[in-house]
């Protein structure tokens, strides 16, 4: 079985419990995917895990307030859909599970894929008025981008292009 990206996005978006305009909703997931794919160009992260993290990490939120369990619930939701809408190796799924479960706990990770996932999410904090800080980035590239405050600022000043949308 391969990964059915369009089906995953449609299914998870349809099942999202918050309003579609939520600060933790699908538009945020797309920015996290974009950020993660950009960081992965230098971090060596596993792109399929980064993309799955983007869609699942906030997918089980019930509101936009503090929700300490939503990451673990997103990981459990990914486990439920594994083998139905996507299939990845056990090793890759363990990375996805850990990245989703712990993404809101302020940790750093030396593991390139997990660090890329967390940095991708943190680099979108500007949507809630928080400037990303280099000290909270796991990857060297994440720290470099954070020094410019936002991914668009970094891209404008560096001349780099975003990865193309994948579907």
Cα 63 versus chain centre, distance: 18
Tell me the pTM: 0.94
Per the domain annotation, does 166 fall within a domain? no
Tell me what pLDDT residue 142 has: 98
Per the domain annotation, does 123 fall within a domain? yes
Higher pLDDT, 153 or 20: 153
How many independent structural domains does the chain possess?
Answer: 1
Per the domain annotation, does 75 fall within a domain? yes
Per the domain annotation, does 164 fall within a domain? no
Residue-level length of the chain: 167
Identify the CA nearest to 54 among candidates 88, 12, 14.
12
Per the domain annotation, does 163 fall within a domain? no
pLDDT digits (tens, 9 = 90+) for 61-74: 988 888 888 999 99
Determine the Cα–Cα distance for residues 45 and 32; give it in Å rounded to an integer: 14
73: domain CATH number is 1.10.3210.10
pLDDT digits (tens, 9 = 90+) for 95-140: 999 999 999 888 999 999 999 999 999 999 999 999 999 999 999 9
Per the domain annotation, does 120 fall within a domain? yes
- The answer to whether the beta carbons of residues 52 and 113 sit under 8 Å apart is no
Tell me the mean pLDDT in the region 30-38. Answer: 96
Supply the range of the domain harboring residue 141: 5-158
Per the domain annotation, does 122 fall within a domain? yes
Confidence label for 160 from pLDDT (cuts 50, 70 and 90) = confident
Per the domain annotation, does 14 fall within a domain? yes
Write out the two tokens for 156: 């404008």
Per DSSP, 126 falls in state: G
**E-state strands within the chain:** none
Tell me what pLDDT residue 95 has: 98
Locate tokens 């780099």: which residue?
Answer: 160
- The answer to whether the beta carbons of residues 60 and 81 sit under 8 Å apart is no
């Amino acid at each position: 079985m391969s990964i059915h990206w369009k089906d995953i996005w449609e299914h998870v978006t349809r099942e999202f419990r918050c309003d579609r305009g939520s600060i933790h909703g699908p538009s945020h997931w797309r920015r996290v995917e974009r950020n993660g794919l950009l960081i992965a160009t230098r971090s060596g992260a596993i792109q399929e895990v980064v993309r799955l993290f983007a869609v699942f990490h906030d997918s089980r939120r019930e509101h936009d307030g503090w929700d300490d369990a939503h990451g673990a619930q997103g990981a459990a939701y990914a486990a439920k859909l594994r083998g139905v809408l996507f299939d990845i190796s056990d090793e890759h799924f363990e990375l996805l599970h850990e990245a989703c479960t712990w993404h809101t706990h302020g940790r750093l990770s030396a593991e390139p894929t997990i660090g890329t996932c967390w940095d991708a999410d943190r680099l979108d904090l500007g949507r809630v008025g928080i400037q990303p800080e280099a000290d909270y980035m796991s990857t060297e590239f994440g720290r470099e981008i954070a020094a410019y405050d936002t991914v668009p600022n970094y891209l404008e000043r560096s001349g780099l292009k975003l990865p193309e949308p994948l579907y």
